[in-house]
């Protein structure tokens, strides 16, 4: 069956992190130095990352100018979404989709993943970590990076700055009665709301802010969810869809009438179904944590690209896409070797919507218009260096 499959881009995997004050030469940067104290010296940099300085694995495939070749699937976009899709097709579905090609307009893979190593520092100018779910760990193992995997300490405390003080976020249910980030009234409101004593759902799709304020109260939103949302999505929770951003929590209320009711129902349903055996190759994280790699997140796209080999085409800029009478798609690229045309049974697009929209207009004007209205946020990464930790008191 011929299909055009569209995957919206992943703009941010997780929140930006604080790593190092040394700027990338391709970043807009500003330094602030504290000159009033000798130790510790704290330097800050705000960086709006534009391009990576990392050296990617570059693989290209020569083709004669104007020559057309046919493949089973073309993945447009060599970011982490496109690469993971291509690897899954190559490893899990090779019998059905034996010939996959990934095309990337830039001369590197990885998209928003930008790891920089310089002067003894390693930092990220895009996403800095990922949730080590089983699908993600499968991708890590299949990419040959199991020994390079680094998992965070699940017991490490998390804090929110509120009213001039860093306040710990509860990490387990026994912390709930004692943490001081919320007032007693706010905790009571959240408890009753979680049990279902709150206004009913409205007749429209709720934003994250609307859902949380209605179910758990203003304090939970302002002191817990809003900081979390800003870090993970770099977006406005009043505009983010609750169903899209936090679908699991949204479904709890839908299925159980309340968050707690839905949680109990989900546990009962899960106990009725036997779990398939877990892949024995996968490492088992201890508790809730995040992951990265010894040399940064860029190791993953580079490893996937290396395994895909000449299936990854760099510096291939998509000029047009059209549907043929045969039902296949024709894609025309500007490449270092000249103009190249590819025919494919399926096209998967993992590029930003404002880039995809004009390319898709010949196929569907209405669909193209819907994509162009997607919102994108500029990500500012703050990097911090402490030159002398010996003089800090805790």
| All residues at 6 or more sequence positions from 215 whose CB lies less than 8 Å from its CB, including other chains | 193, 194, 198, 253, 258, 259
Q: Which residue has the higher pLDDT, 30 or 388?
A: 388
Instruction: Please state the domain extents for the chain.
Output: 1-151+293-394, 159-249
Look at residue 68 in the predicted model and tell me its pLDDT. 57
pLDDT digits (tens, 9 = 90+) for 78-101: 999 999 999 999 999 989 999 999
Strands 100-104 and 68-76: parallel
Strands 165-168 and 159-162: antiparallel
User: What CATH number was assigned to the domain covering residues 1-151+293-394?
Assistant: 3.50.50.60
pLDDT digits (tens, 9 = 90+) for 318-331: 999 999 999 999 99
User: What CATH number was assigned to the domain covering residues 159-249?
Assistant: 1.10.3110.10
Do domains 1-151+293-394 and 159-249 share one topology? The answer is: no
Q: With a cut of 50, say whether residue 47 has pLDDT above it.
A: no
Please return the burial class of 44, using the count of CB atoms within 10 Å of its CB with bins 0-12, 13-18 and 19+: middle
pLDDT digits (tens, 9 = 90+) for 153-198: 988 888 999 999 999 998 887 888 888 999 999 999 999 999 999 9
Are 214 and 198 in contact by the 8 Å Cβ rule? The answer is yes
| All residues at 6 or more sequence positions from 387 whose CB lies less than 8 Å from its CB, including other chains | 39, 40, 41, 42, 43
Which backbone phi and psi does 262 adopt, to 5 degrees? -65, -35
pTM of the predicted model over 0.85: no
- C-beta neighbour count of 228 within 10 angstroms: 16
């Amino acid at each position: 069956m011929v299909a055009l499959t569209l995957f919206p881009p992943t703009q941010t995997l997780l929140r930006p992190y604080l790593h190092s004050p040394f700027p990338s030469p391709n970043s807009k940067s500003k330094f602030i130095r504290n000159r009033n104290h000798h130790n510790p010296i704290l330097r800050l940099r705000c960086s709006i990352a534009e391009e990576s300085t990392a050296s990617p694995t570059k693989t290209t495939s020569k083709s004669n100018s104007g020559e057309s070749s046919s493949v089973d699937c073309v993945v447009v976009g060599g970011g982490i979404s496109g690469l993971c899709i291509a690897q899954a097709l190559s490893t899990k579905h090779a019998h059905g989709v034996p010939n996959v090609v990934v095309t990337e307009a830039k001369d590197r893979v990885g998209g928003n993943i930008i790891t920089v190593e310089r002067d003894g520092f390693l930092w990220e100018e895009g996403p800095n970590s990922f949730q080590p779910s089983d699908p993600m760990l499968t991708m890590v193992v299949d990419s040959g990076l199991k020994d390079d995997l680094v998992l965070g300490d699940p017991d490490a405390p998390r804090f929110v700055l509120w009213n001039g003080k860093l306040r710990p976020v509860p990490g387990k249910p026994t912390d709930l009665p004692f943490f001081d980030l919320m007032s007693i009234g706010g905790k009571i409101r959240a408890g009753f709301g979680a049990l279902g004593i709150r206004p009913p759902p409205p007749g429209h799709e709720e934003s994250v802010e609307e859902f949380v304020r209605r179910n758990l109260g203003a304090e939970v939103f302002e002191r817990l969810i809003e900081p979390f949302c800003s870090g993970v999505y770099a977006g406005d929770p009043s505009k983010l869809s609750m169903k899209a951003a936090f679908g699991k929590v949204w479904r709890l209320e839908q299925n159980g009438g309340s968050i707690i009711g839905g949680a109990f129902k989900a546990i009962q349903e899960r106990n009725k179904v036997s779990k398939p055996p877990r892949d024995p190759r996968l490492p088992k994280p201890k508790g809730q944590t995040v992951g990265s790699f010894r040399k940064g997140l860029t190791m993953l796209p580079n490893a996937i690209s290396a395994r895909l080999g000449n299936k990854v085409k760099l510096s291939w800029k998509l000029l047009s896409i059209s549907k043929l009478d045969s039902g296949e798609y024709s894609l025309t690229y500007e490449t270092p070797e000249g103009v190249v045309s590819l025919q494919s049974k399926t096209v998967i697009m993992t590029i930003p919507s404002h880039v995809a929209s004009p390319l898709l207009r010949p196929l569907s004007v209405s669909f193209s218009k819907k994509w162009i209205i997607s919102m994108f946020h500029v990500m500012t990464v703050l990097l911090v260096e402490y030159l002398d930790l010996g003089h800090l008191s805790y």
